[in-house]
């Protein structure tokens, strides 16, 4: 029997604390420490960093560099203060371009800083990813976050018409099916090709690797592998 899975909206704001490193003295970042999570997307060319906040005011990655300690240092920038933000609390994903020289098969410590906050997480390596410096194939991809059962999904298409998760179910051992909402026939979409992200939640798959993700609904009819191991 299929087990119904909570979507990201049902799990909004429930981000687990990542593996926190120790920084002290002059190297310590300033501001409030927040919980962040991360996953490999787009065959290791991108990293999705998950934070909790308004669904319409997602921070962007201003820079991403490997520091002297070999960690990935990412600077987040919040939307302009004049930007109207919804008062909801959801898990949203900021995409970070993986710098050249990073090997996705190796564990990577990630530090995110902003004028008012900081956070860090250890992203486990995944074998077999193409990594930085290769061309995207514009295909959907997905990866597990550190929170048990939560994963991120990346799709490509119109930035004005991102897909919305309707349901998600564990439909077989090692298999998850995500169904997107079918958009209205008269929906007006921008004619660009942009990365769109969303999250979903799959309970009961702790510790599994190679989980197959079936994407259906909207314009999707494909099966991909969720990167990494479920927590």
Question: Can you give the pTM of this predicted structure?
Answer: 0.88
- Identify the domain containing residue 190 by its residue range: 3-227
What is the per-residue pLDDT across 125-183, written as a single tens digit (0 to 9) for each? 999 999 999 999 999 999 999 999 999 999 999 999 999 999 999 999 999 999 999 99
Give the residue among 231, 126, 230, 128 at the shortest CA–CA distance from 174: 230
Rounded Cα distance, 112 and 107, in Å: 16
Residue 29 pLDDT: 78
What is the per-residue pLDDT across 82-139, written as a single tens digit (0 to 9) for each? 999 999 999 999 999 999 999 999 999 999 999 999 999 999 999 999 999 999 999 9
Residue 126 CB-density burial (10 A; 0-12 exposed, 13-18 middle, 19+ buried): buried
Report angle CA 13, 174, 194 to the nearest 5 degrees.
55
Give the residue among 74, 79, 85 at the shortest CA–CA distance from 34: 74
Number of folded domains that form the chain: 1
What is the per-residue pLDDT across 32-87, written as a single tens digit (0 to 9) for each? 999 999 999 999 999 999 999 999 999 999 999 999 999 999 999 999 999 999 99
């Amino acid at each position: 029997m299929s087990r119904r899975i909570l979507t990201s909206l049902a799990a909004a704001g429930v981000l687990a604390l990542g593996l926190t490193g120790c920084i002290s003295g002059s190297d310590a970042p300033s501001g409030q420490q927040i919980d962040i999570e991360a996953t490999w997307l787009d065959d290791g060319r991108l990293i999705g960093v998950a934070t909790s906040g308004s669904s319409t005011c997602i921070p962007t990655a201003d820079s991403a560099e490997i520091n002297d300690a070999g960690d990935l240092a990412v600077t987040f920038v919040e939307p302009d203060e004049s930007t109207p933000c919804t008062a909801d609390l959801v898990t949203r994903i900021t995409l970070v371009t993986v710098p050249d020289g990073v090997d996705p098969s190796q564990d990577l410590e990630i530090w995110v800083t902003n004028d008012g906050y900081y956070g860090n997480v250890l992203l486990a390596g995944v074998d077999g990813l193409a990594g930085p410096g290769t061309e995207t194939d514009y295909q959907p991809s997905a990866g597990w976050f550190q929170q048990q059962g939560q994963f991120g999904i990346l799709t490509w298409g119109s930035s004005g018409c991102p897909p919305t998760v309707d349901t998600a179910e564990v439909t077989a051992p090692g298999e998850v099916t995500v169904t997107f909402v079918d958009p209205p026939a008269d929906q007006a979409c921008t004619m660009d090709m942009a990365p769109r992200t969303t999250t979903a939640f799959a309970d009961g798959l702790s510790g599994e690797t190679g989980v197959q993700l079936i994407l259906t609904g909207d314009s999707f009819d494909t099966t991909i592998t969720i990167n990494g191991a479920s927590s």
